[in-house]
Amino acid sequence: MMSIEASIRRAWCDAVVLGAGQWACLERHLTLLRLWNARVNLVGASTIASAAVKHYCESLFLAARLPDEVGTVVDIGSGAGFPGFPLAVMCPNVQVVLIESDKRKAAFLRESCGLPNLQVATIRMENYKGACDAVITRAVDPHQVRVWAAGHAKCLGFIGSMRDILTLSKDAAFATRSAAAFPWAPRNGSFWGTFHVKPR
């Protein structure tokens, strides 16, 4: 079986450079994801075989496009830890909070995502009281995050459908935006976008 690193480098020709320990951390997370997914629906079963690209590569690609000045990140509806966990692995100096209201998914996050710069919050988005520089999320209804993100952070990083990206692109709360399909699979229906909140 191909490693996460090999799979990502095969799909993403100029992939981010990670150390051996960081790649090993992602591999351990995937091993636990496979074990837990048989009992708890963390990700679609059909995506496990392509998890290196579908989950980890997409998350790292988005993380690489957040502004350099971002020091604190909140991942809303983190589920199995995407996109927040790969970001925390890639950026050890960035503090990441994974928000997941489902207790079983949060239990998985606590077992699989043990990093000094990462914490898990088993609450709903609207009950989170902390501050952050950026909000990130994946496959969450943009209507659920747009107002909250615009009121709590400087930017939003989003992975979802073209329709979701277009919805966010038309939002008057965002001053600038950058969005496109992932370069390795431009027709697979998965898109990324970063949106900068207008200064108040």
Give me the CATH number covering residue 19.
3.40.50.150
> What pLDDT digit, counting tens, does each position of 159-191 carry?
999 999 999 999 999 999 999 999 997 676 789
Mean pLDDT of 128-144: 91
Q: Can you give the pLDDT at residue 188?
A: 67
Q: What is the pTM assigned to this prediction?
A: 0.95
Name residue, tokens 């209507």.
143
Rounded Cα–Cα distance for residues 43 and 181 (Å) = 21
Rounded Cα–Cα distance for residues 48 and 20 (Å) = 23
Is 120 within 8 Å of 98 (Cβ atoms)? yes
Instruction: Assess whether pLDDT exceeds 80 at residue 157.
Output: yes
Mean pLDDT of 109-136: 94
Q: Can you give the pLDDT at residue 189?
A: 73
User: Is there a cis peptide before residue 116, judged by omega within 30 degrees of 0?
Assistant: no
Q: Can you give the pLDDT at residue 1?
A: 76
Domain region containing 73: 4-197
Is 193 within 8 Å of 61 (Cβ atoms)? no
- Give the rounded percent of residues in the chain with a pLDDT score beyond 90: 81
Name the pLDDT band for 139 (thresholds 50, 70, 90). confident
Query: How many domains does one find in the chain?
Result: 1
For 17-26, 47-56, 180-189, which range has the lowest pLDDT when averaged over its residues? 180-189
Strand partners, 121: 99
Phi then psi dihedrals of residue 151, to 5 deg = -95, -10
User: What does the block give as tokens for 189?
Assistant: 């229906």
- Give the rounded percent of residues in the chain with a pLDDT score beyond 70: 98
How much of the chain is helix, strand and coil, in % rounded to 5?
A: 40, 20, 40
Instruction: Assess whether pLDDT exceeds 90 at residue 124.
Output: yes
Average pLDDT, the chain: 93
User: What does the block give as tokens for 143?
Assistant: 């209507």
